[in-house]
Amino acid sequence: MQPDIMTIVNEYNMEINPRTAYKVQVEAKCPFCHGDANNRRKYKFSINAEMHVFRCWLCNESGYVYDLEAHLSNKPYEEVRKKYTKRKLHKAEKLSPKQLEKIEKRHLKVDYEAFKQQFTQIEKEWDDYCLGQKRLLLSKILLSHVLNLDMMSAIHAQVESSEIPNIYSETMHEYLHIETSKEPWAIEVRASIKSLLQDYQSENEHTLMAVLLIRHYKQVGRLKH
Ligand SMILES: [Zn+2]
Percent of all residues in the chain with a pLDDT value above 90, rounded to a whole number: 53
Helices (H), 56-151: 65-73, 77-83, 97-102, 112-117, 119-146
pLDDT at 206: 79
CB-CB contact of 141 with 155 (8 Å): yes
Where do the structural domains in the chain lie, given as residue ranges? 5-89, 123-224
Q: Is the pLDDT of residue 152 over 80?
A: yes
What stretch of H or E contains 48? strand 45-48
For 66-80, what is each residue's pLDDT tens digit?
999 999 999 988 889
The CA 68 to ligand 1 mean position distance, Å, reads 12
Closest C-alpha to 135, from 193, 79, 95, 70: 193
Higher per-residue pLDDT: 202 or 164? 164
The CA 4 to ligand 1 mean position distance, Å, reads 21
For 86-131, what is each residue's pLDDT tens digit?
778 889 988 988 899 999 988 877 677 888 899 999 999 999 999 9
As a whole number, mean pLDDT of residues 180-192 equals 91
pLDDT at 218: 81
The distance between the two most distant Cα atoms of the chain, rounded to a whole number of Å, is 67
End-to-end CA distance of the chain: 37
The CA 46 to ligand 1 mean position distance, Å, reads 10
The CA 63 to ligand 1 mean position distance, Å, reads 12
pLDDT at 222: 64
pLDDT at 213: 83
Confidence class for position 224, pLDDT limits 50, 70, 90: low
pLDDT mean across residues, the chain: 89
Confidence class for position 225, pLDDT limits 50, 70, 90: very low
The CA 213 to ligand 1 mean position distance, Å, reads 32
Superfamily of domain 5-89: Zinc finger, CHC2-typedomain (3.90.580.10)
Does ipTM exceed 0.90?
yes
pLDDT at 107: 80
